[in-house]
Amino acid sequence: MTNEFSKAMDFRHACKVFDDTKTISDEDMKFILEAGRKSPSSFGMEAWKFLVITNEDLKAKLKPACWDQIQMTSCSHLVIVLAGIDSVKVATGIPKQRFERTGMPAEQLEFYLGMYAGHLDNVLSSDENIYSWTVRQTYIATGNMMTAAAFIGIDSCPIEGFDKGAVEKILNLDTSKFQLATVLPFGYRLNEQSTQYREAFEDIVEFVK
Ligand SMILES: Cc1cc2nc3c(=O)[nH]c(=O)nc-3n(C[C@H](O)[C@H](O)[C@H](O)COP(=O)(O)O)c2cc1C
């Protein structure tokens, strides 16, 4: 079946070089970022943040910390996807706020908070475990942003080829609050799209009876 969504899935590829003469409009960038903001997250915690960088000097400074990949400086907008660390801790009051905004009654709120803390006992026991839990969720937002971009003819490349500590240092991140998840440049392709290599449908999908 071919429709607008499947066309976007075919259009998206890990773009290696962007046309640095082309700039994404504010309106299109907002459309892409909204797809990230509206993404699902465990318990609705939204433990993420998206830094949007257009400053050429800063892009150039970050490039060596990202394996010198050309996408870093040829892109129009560089989005740095961060995983939230302290915001998911009960003591910050943020999990309570997240539950509260749904308008649930006080006794249900207490129940939910207790369930949250109990279920995530191990996750919340260290910043390292929190990172590994929240970073997984940022990938959903990252995927949605890439597909949203492809839907409107904009290219992207998810980048994990980086020195995490070096990028966090350049960005002056307080890593007790946010840590680097993914580097996500957006722009317009300079070259033809690469071939999409995928395993056969039957090899990766199993209908269990
Ligand atoms: C988590 C993650 C990290 C990746 N890191 C890089 C990267 O650092 N540099 C790069 O050029 N591509 C990177 N890629 C892109 C993959 O290599 C690419 O998606 C895969 O080879 C399939 O190709 P396609 O996306 O063009 O279909 C990454 C992809 C993912 C999902």
C-alpha to C-alpha distance for 40 and 38, rounded to whole angstroms: 7
The residue to mutate among 63, 140, 160, 183, having the most atoms of ligand 1 within 8 angstroms of its beta carbon, is 160
Averaged over 146-172, what is the pLDDT?
98
pLDDT at 68: 98
pLDDT at 162: 98
pLDDT at 1: 82
- Location of structure tokens 């050309």: 70
Averaged over 139-159, what is the pLDDT?
98
- The atom of ligand 1 lying closest to the CA of 162 is 8
Q: How do residues 55-111 score in pLDDT, each as one tens digit?
A: 999 999 999 999 999 999 999 999 999 999 999 999 999 999 999 999 989 999 999
Q: How do residues 27-52 score in pLDDT, each as one tens digit?
A: 999 999 999 999 999 999 999 999 99
The residue to mutate among 159, 163, 191, 194, having the most atoms of ligand 1 within 8 angstroms of its beta carbon, is 159
Q: How do residues 108-126 score in pLDDT, each as one tens digit?
A: 999 999 999 999 999 999 9
Query: Is the beta carbon of 159 within 6 A of some atom in ligand 1?
Result: yes
pLDDT-derived band at 179 (thresholds 50, 70, 90) equals very high
Query: Is the beta carbon of 70 within 6 A of some atom in ligand 1?
Result: no
The pair of three-digit structure tokens given for residue 173, joined into one six-digit string: 């991140």
Q: How do residues 127-145 score in pLDDT, each as one tens digit?
A: 999 999 999 999 999 999 9
pTM beyond 0.85: yes
Buried (b) or exposed (e) across 152-182, using 16+ Cβ within 10 A?
A: eebbbbbbeebeeeebbeebebeeeebbbbb
C-alpha to C-alpha distance for 135 and 129, rounded to whole angstroms: 10
Query: Is the beta carbon of 44 within 6 A of some atom in ligand 1?
Result: no
Q: 3-class DSSP state for residue 182?
A: strand
